[in-house]
């Protein structure tokens, strides 16, 4: 990272559109089949870009790569493809941390990029070009789809097309289904190759500190020969991946029916505040103190569970804060908080990674802390334990290791008695 150059740019006062890499541009993933179909056929530059993309990995099964340079081009072509807000330009310190000054000159901060065509390109003609179809063929297919499901997906106008509210929800679910199909295909190819010695763990919490981080570290210490794969997705998608065999174990909030499970220790709920927020003067924040506040929550898990806890603590609508739901990662939510656009609810495991401009306070219901529950889930019957639990620790790390080593058929099959 060019710290000096970044400081000069952000301090210059020039009109600026900031598009963060992680959590925003990182969604611009493209697979080798996509590159081969939509990039490689288009001249020497297309063949060159396709070759460079393929060279990043020898194994192209389930391989995808971020096309970083697409983000600024997307903004220049159509700013509506990039959802954004106006915010004070941040300060980059010499210690490579962010600092915020509300008096600074404004910039435009992009917090989401629309990747897919049709819904995001805003034109059937352009979408047809991307898909290498005739516009009439694409339009006819969309109308047939709308007729079959009984929902108008796109609102047509002379300026183009945009999803209706019902259509946007339909498209969101359709994308999840397509990703699940990709996962099924990748899983089948992995099984065909006969891969062994791998334990795949899915979660929707943070790894910056806390129990899950300790779990994974302990597992690698005790069983370094087993490859450990991690996947962060929504609880619905993780459950599907577990059922179809892509994952071996998942650690999520709440309970998931029809799966073997083990309850894990609770995790505290905290409130994340801008560093100059009036509530930072208190050591403990009560749920009733959130009234008249703006609470920012991610639409991804565990945002829904945190919202359910808030509603249970403040059952009367008049006592609740204003809730804004954003289709962004928890990291972007923290950025929005540091820009003083609101506060948020987080779990204790979220506070391990330092984030300039944020302060955390414990949330209490009068005298008691507030917690959120987690469970570990797996498939299949429970075999007899092979190894004793390590001594000296009694937390979720031991519980999840116990699940991983004793209750996962694939892991158990890999262990022998001399490994205990």
Structure confidence by residue, pLDDT tens digits, 42-90? 788 888 888 888 888 777 666 788 888 878 887 887 777 788 888 889 9
Asked whether the predicted pLDDT for residue 140 surpasses 60, the reply is yes
This prediction has a pTM of 0.45
Bridge-based pairing state of the strands 98-99 and 91-92: antiparallel
CA 372 to chain centre: 19
Alpha helices in 321-362 (DSSP H): 330-338
Per residue in 260-277, pLDDT (tens digit) is: 677 777 788 899 999 999
Residue 206's pLDDT is what?
62
Nearest to 338 by CA among 357, 360, 313, 310: 357
How many other CB atoms are found less than 10 A from the CB of residue 198?
14
Count of other CB atoms within 10 angstroms of residue 54: 16
Q: In the structure, what pLDDT confidence band is assigned to residue 235 with cuts at 50, 70 and 90?
A: confident
Chain centroid to Cα 44, Å, comes to 36
The residue written with tokens 């994340």 in the block is: 272
As a CATH number, domain 124-181 is 1.10.10.10
Domains 124-181 and 196-413 share a fold: no
Q: Higher confidence at residue 379 or residue 154?
A: 154
Closest CA to 270 of 238, 310, 232, 312: 310
Spatial distance between the Cα atoms of 219 and 398, rounded to a whole number of angstroms:
9
**Of 115-124, 243-252, 403-412, where does mean pLDDT reach its minimum?**
403-412
What three-state secondary structure class fits 182?
helix
Q: Does domain 196-413 have CATH number 3.40.190.290?
A: yes
The 10s digit of each residue's pLDDT in 310-359 is 888 888 888 889 999 888 877 888 889 988 999 999 888 777 666 788 99
Contact yes or no for 65/30 (Cβ under 8 A): yes
Higher per-residue confidence, 11 vs 381: 11
Give which of 246, 240, 232, 231 is closest to 259, Cα–Cα: 240
Domain assignments of the chain as residue spans, ordered by start: 3-113, 124-181, 196-413
Q: How many CB atoms are closer than 10 A to CB 150?
A: 7
Rounded to 10°, the helix 235-243/165-193 angle is 30
The angle subtended at Cα 408 by Cα 406 and Cα 411, nearest 5°, is 85
Q: What is the pLDDT of residue 293?
A: 93
pLDDT for residue 321: 93
pLDDT digits (tens, 9 = 90+) for 13-32: 898 999 888 878 887 888 88
Pick 32 or 394 by higher pLDDT: 32
Q: What is the dihedral of CA 330, 331, 333, 338, to 10 degrees?
A: 150
DSSP 10: H
């Amino acid at each position: 990272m060019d710290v000096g150059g970044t400081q000069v740019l952000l301090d210059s006062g020039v009109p600026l559109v900031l598009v963060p890499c992680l959590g925003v541009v990182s969604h611009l993933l493209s697979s080798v089949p996509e590159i081969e179909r939509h990039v490689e056929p288009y001249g020497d530059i297309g063949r060159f870009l396709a070759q460079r993309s393929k060279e990043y990995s020898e194994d192209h099964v389930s391989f995808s790569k971020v096309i970083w340079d697409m983000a600024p081009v997307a903004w220049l072509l159509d700013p509506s493809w990039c959802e954004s807000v106006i915010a004070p330009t941040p300060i980059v310190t010499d210690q490579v941390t962010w600092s915020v000054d509300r008096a600074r000159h404004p910039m435009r901060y992009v917090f989401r990029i629309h990747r897919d065509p049709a819904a995001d390109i805003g034109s059937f003609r352009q979408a047809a070009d991307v898909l290498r179809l005739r516009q009439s063929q694409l339009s006819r297919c969309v109308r047939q789809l709308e007729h079959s499901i009984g929902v108008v997906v796109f609102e047509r106008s002379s300026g183009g097309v945009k999803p209706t509210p019902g259509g946007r929800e339909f498209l969101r679910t359709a994308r999840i289904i397509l990703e699940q199909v990709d996962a099924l295909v990748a899983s089948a190819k992995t099984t065909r190759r006969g891969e062994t010695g791998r334990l795949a763990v899915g979660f929707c919490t943070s790894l910056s500190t806390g129990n899950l981080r300790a779990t994974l570290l302990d597992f690698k210490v005790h069983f370094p020969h087993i490859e450990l794969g991690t996947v962060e997705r929504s609880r619905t998608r993780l459950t599907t991946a577990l059922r179809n065999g892509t994952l071996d174990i998942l650690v999520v909030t709440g309970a998931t029916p029809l799966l073997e499970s083990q309850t894990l220790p609770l995790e505290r709920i905290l409130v994340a505040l801008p560093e100059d927020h009036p509530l930072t003067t208190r050591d403990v924040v009560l749920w009733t103190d959130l009234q008249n506040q703006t609470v920012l929550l991610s639409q991804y898990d565990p945002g829904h569970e945190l919202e359910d806890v808030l509603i249970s603590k403040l059952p009367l609508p008049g006592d609740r804060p204003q809730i804004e739901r954003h289709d962004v990662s928890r990291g972007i939510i923290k950025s929005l908080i540091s820009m003083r656009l609101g506060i948020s609810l987080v779990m204790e495991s979220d506070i391990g990674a330092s984030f300039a401009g944020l302060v955390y306070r414990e949330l209490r219901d009068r005298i008691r802390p507030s917690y959120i529950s987690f469970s570990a889930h797996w498939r299949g019957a429970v075999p007899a334990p092979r190894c004793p639990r390590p001594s000296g620790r009694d937390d979720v790390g031991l519980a999840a290791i116990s699940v991983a080593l004793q209750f996962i058929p694939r892991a158990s099959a890999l262990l022998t008695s001399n490994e205990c």
